[in-house]
Amino acid sequence: MSALEVEDLVVRFPGDREPVQVVDGVSLRVDPGEVLALVGESGCGKSMTALSCLRLVPRPGRIHAGGIRVAGREILSLAVPEMRSIRGSEISMIFQEPMTSLNPVVAVGDQVVEAIRLHEPVSRAAARARTLEIFQKVGIPDPEDRLDAYPHQLSGGLKQRVMIAMALATVPRVLIADEPTTALDVTIQAQILELIRELRSEFDVGILLITHDLGVVNELADRVAVMYAGRFVEEGARVEVLSGGRHPYTQGLLRSIPGRVEPGERLAEIPGVVPAPDDWPPGCRFADRCERAVDVCSERSPDATSLGDGRRVWCHVVAEEEAAG
């Protein structure tokens, strides 16, 4: 059974004239112990997709249509109290900035104890023992002393470890990691990436990783989905997608990374800017920035084309090429 399944998700915000669909028909699947990375530039809808999985889309936005199953159970039809009990136990989240999600006036150990006791009928002492154990597991030095530390006494890397400990304390089936290392320095980032790699197999948790950093994707992901303007444009195994990609947007994105071209060589530019959600063009949303666009691209949205290696690409030109063999 998949840890997480999303089907035809549509997230809407009220607009001036008509509703704006910031996520427009996204489907995905994450298996236990697997990392699926959602990548894309600001405003592509990747964070909204992630928040939808916890039913935490900020108002006035709302999930308009679709299905979301956590460990096989449909969560969109659940009553609020039931949803609350799943959040933090079956599905947890870690954020970019741990400071905003830790309570500054409660010792970090107590915050994890509280999270455990919220979901399980265990004694304080038992919850504290488990917190200590998980602090050791996430590599917090002097874990016993750190139980009583306040967030401001910890460095950024340690705070992120506490967040991860809290997210995993209840042994969730799904972990949503939204830019988990973006605020960290590169040497600390390497430590946290290593930690997430270890924990995902140990806990057999399915991870939905949200990031704009293709280096982080390469280090952590098994599969990658590239999003543009609220939709998937390409999805497949890490090596296939990052080796080149078939969608012109994936290709442009990869060629614009400074580390991937020879020093001094010119970076590829994708002309123009990502359009705002209330200004998404009809047809393929990348068409007006795409070098390979043909007439049909601005008329009709492309369907998914499946490639031999299990990849799916949403592009008329690729569909044509595949059909021609």
Partner 1 sequence: MSANGEPVIRVEDLCTWFPIRAGLMRRTVGWVRAVDGVSLEVRAGKTLALVGESGCGKTTVGRSILRLVEPRSGRVTFGGRDLLELPPEELRPLRKDLQMVFQDPMASLNPRMRVRELVSEGMRSFGIGTGEAERTDRVAALLSRVQLDPDWMWRYPHEFSGGQRQRLGIARALAVEPRMIVLDEAVSALDVSIQAQILNLLSDLQEELGLAYLFITHDLGVVRHLSDEVAVMYVGQIVERGETAALFEDPRHPYTRALLEAVPSVDPRRRSGAAPVLGDVPSPADPPPGCRFHTRCPEVFERCSREEPAAFPAGSGEARCFLREPGAGS
Q: Give the footprint of partner 1 on this chain (CB under 8 A).
A: 41-42, 141, 155, 157-158, 185-191, 193-194, 197, 212-216, 218-219, 238-239, 242-243, 252-253, 256-261, 263-264, 266-270, 273-274
How far apart CA 257 and CA 305 sit, in angstroms, is 26
Shorter beta-carbon distance to partner 1: residue 176 or 217: 217
Nearest distance, CB of residue 284 and partner 1, angstroms: 17
Shorter beta-carbon distance to partner 1: residue 14 or 141: 141
Nearest distance, CB of residue 135 and partner 1, angstroms: 16
Nearest distance, CB of residue 118 and partner 1, angstroms: 30
Shorter beta-carbon distance to partner 1: residue 65 or 267: 267
Neighbouring CB atoms inside 10 A of 322's CB total 15
Nearest distance, CB of residue 194 and partner 1, angstroms: 6
Nearest distance, CB of residue 74 and partner 1, angstroms: 34
Q: Which of 4, 11, 8 is nearest to 69 (CA)?
A: 4
Contact present, 143 and 205 (Cβ < 8 Å):
no
Shorter beta-carbon distance to partner 1: residue 193 or 304: 193
Measured CA to CA in angstroms, residue 191 lies from 125, 138, 139, 181 at distances of 30, 10, 9, 10
Shorter beta-carbon distance to partner 1: residue 268 or 319: 268
Q: What six digits make up the tokens of 83?
A: 């949803």
Shorter beta-carbon distance to partner 1: residue 139 or 302: 139
Q: Which of 217, 205, 122 is nearest to 164 (CA)?
A: 205
Measured CA to CA in angstroms, residue 22 lies from 44, 57, 260, 263 at distances of 8, 11, 30, 37
Nearest distance, CB of residue 44 and partner 1, angstroms: 9
Do the strands 62-70 and 4-13 form a parallel or antiparallel pair, or are they unpaired?
Answer: antiparallel
Do the strands 73-74 and 91-94 form a parallel or antiparallel pair, or are they unpaired?
Answer: unpaired
Nearest distance, CB of residue 153 and partner 1, angstroms: 12
Contact present, 33 and 205 (Cβ < 8 Å):
yes
H/E stretch holding 168: helix 156-168
Shorter beta-carbon distance to partner 1: residue 16 or 269: 269
